[in-house]
Every structure is written in C-alpha cells, then in structure tokens.
Amino acid sequence: MNHYQQFVTNNYYFRPDQSEYWQTYLINNILLILIPIFLFLFFLNIFIHRLFFVAIIDLMAIIIAVILLVIFHRTNDVKNISIFSVTLYTCLLIAYILISGPSDYAFTWILVFPPVSYILLGRNTGRFVTMVSFMLIFLGILFFSPPWVSNELSLISFINLLFAAICVTILISFSELSRAKAYDFIKLKNEELMRLSHTDALTGISNRLKLDEVMMKELARIRRGTPHFSIIMGDLDLFKRFNDSYGHLVGDQILVEIASAIVPICRLTDTVGRWGGEEFLIICPETSVEGATILAEKIRKSVESLPLHRYGSVTISLGVTGSKLADDINTIVMRADRALYLAKSAGRNQVRSVQNTDFQLSLDESELSHFS
C-alpha cells in the first residue's frame, strides 16, 4: 500500500521519493519566510535608514511572495513557480545591489544567486540563470555607472567578490552534479529492488504481490469508466503426484518451462504471475470473458503440447471470470477459483468460465484437494 504525505500549505499529495516532494516543500518555506523578513527590512529602511527606494524593493518582494504563494497553493505548478520566483527576486536583488552598492556590504548578496538558482531550478537552468545574473550586474555597472562604483568600491574589491561568486557557482555546480548522480544511482537501485519484490524468484514472472497491485489498479480503472477486465486462474493437474514421482527439483524446472510457455501467448498488456505453488494467474485488461476464454484455451493447448522429455506430459485446468463494479480482489479471485473447480470436476485439462455470481462460491476443502 502506498503512503502519501500531505503538505500543510498545499492540498496535493506526494510520495517522499518523488523529485518534486522536497522542491515543493522548499518553495513553500522560502516564500513564507521571505514575507516576515522583507516586512522587517521594509520598516527598517523606512523609519531607521530612510532608504525609501530600498523600502520600495522590500515592499515589492512582499507582494510578489504573497502572490506566488497563493498561485502555488492553487496550481502546485512547481516548475513555473520556481522560474517566476527566481526571475522576479533576481531582478529585485540586482536593483538593490545597483542602488545600495557596497553600503553595509550589500554587494555580498551576489553570492545568493548560485545556491537559490541551483536548488530551485536544477543544475543546468540554475547555471544559466546565475551567469545571466552576473552579466546583468556587470552591464548595469557598466552602463548606469552608479556613483558608489568610483567612490567606494575599488577594482580589486570588485574582482575579489566576482571571483568568490564564480567559485561558489563552481562548487555548487559540482555538488549538484554529484547529488544528481547519487540520486540516479539510488533510483536505479530502488527500481531494481521494486522489480525483485514483484518477481517470483523461481519462474521470473510476477508474484502474488504484483498480481494484487495490478488487480487493485484494474478495479480502480473500471470504476472510472474504463472497459472491464478478466482474469484466468490456472492450476496444473495432479502436480503433487508428479512431484512425488520425480522430485521437487524436476517439478520446479517444469514450472519454469510452463511459465516460459505461457508468457509469449499473452499480450504485453497482460500480467502473467504465479499465484502460489502450481497455480498461475493471468490478468487481461479491457478483455471480455469470451476473449479471455480463447486465451485460456491457447494456454491449455500450449501446456499440453509442451515437450518434457522422459517426464511425460503435464496438463492444466483453467477458470475464467470477468470483473464487476462491486468486485474486490477476493470476490473476483473466488469466481475464478470456482470456474477452475468446474474445470477440474469436468475431468481436468479443461477451460471453464463463470460470468455471474449465481454459483456457491465457498468450496469444501476435501473437494479442492480431490481435484488438485
């Protein structure tokens, strides 16, 4: 079962392993934190420093933060909100630097560009935005010639600050590259673990866990109006006696060969799995009972004609049923199991289908063991 976390500020659900999870969390918190910070700076610049142009920038930053936060909560558009946030605050920061210059070390805010851009926009876009920001500051100084450039900031100071910013950019770039590679490696390993957890160790086809997940998804799909699906339950005839005669290692090898024979007959959209022991289950999306019955007959013939050398032949009985809106996993599997029982009772090596719930679905254990 999947577990989701709901953010307090967004009515959207994320899994912790989703790439947008932490980015959404970060954007929410950055925008929320900016509001009181710039509100404090606004009053400080108005009443203490009397820097009215800077106060206007602070006020614009507050307004932008509130607007972006409201839009973000309504749309949860992580990509565009990240771009708008970085772009607008970059423009405000450039304006602040050009106005204030080295006063109270205002120019050191240039070091903010790399981490914010890289964290919110990613490595490639972040690098581009950082370089553009540096270029805009340089062009602003070159063409607008703020009075503090010649009076308060020496060329050596400017070069030192510029190189410091470039070094920060390079370090963050390599850090983001390493983080991205580590994330890709972990993602690859997680996918491999997920595949192994959904695969039957003996036959290599889907296991019970995977079959349950697929059926849950298909049941959810039909409730949204998609065509119904069917399932095929297959059980090898008298396989216990076969194991007793030749041993379980031979029995395991035969299960592998049978699984290999069933998979090519089915469609790519079908899910073929081992339900347990010598039982197989095939889930056929958007398939009628009639269509699944035809597929089951092909499987029966393929298993019957499977060359097993000196071990003789193995047959399989199969039960087919279709989904209903009121179904859960238990009810649809019980119907397929009932159809399988009918195939066994008809003499084995048969295909039978159940299309309604008129049958008694509870089976006596002695009856099942007699026909297994």
**DSSP result, 324-355:** -TT--HHHHHHHHHHHHHHHHHTTSS-EEEE-
Edge to edge, the sheet with strand 279-284 lists: 271-276, 279-284, 230-236, 316-322, 351-354
Quickly count helices (H) and strands (E) in the chain.
13, 7
DSSP, collapsed to helix, strand or coil, labels residue 319 as strand
CB atoms within 10 A of CB 43: 12
List the catalytic residue out of 176, 218, 278, 279: 278
Q: Minimal CA–CA distance to 237: which of 312, 289, 329?
A: 312
Q: Nearest-5° angle of CA 311, CA 317, CA 319? A: 155
The alpha-carbon radius of gyration of the chain (Å, integer) is 33
- Which H, E and C letters describe 135-180, residue by residue? HHHHHHHHHHCCCHHHHCCCHHHHHHHHHHHHHHHHHHHHHHHHHH
- Bridge partners, residue 354, by sequence: 321
- Annotated catalytic, 278? yes
* Cβ contact 134:162 at 8 Å: yes
Distances (CA, A) of 232 to 266, 301, 328, 349: 11, 15, 16, 14
Q: Minimal CA–CA distance to 369: which of 336, 335, 345, 339?
A: 345
The catalytic residues are 278
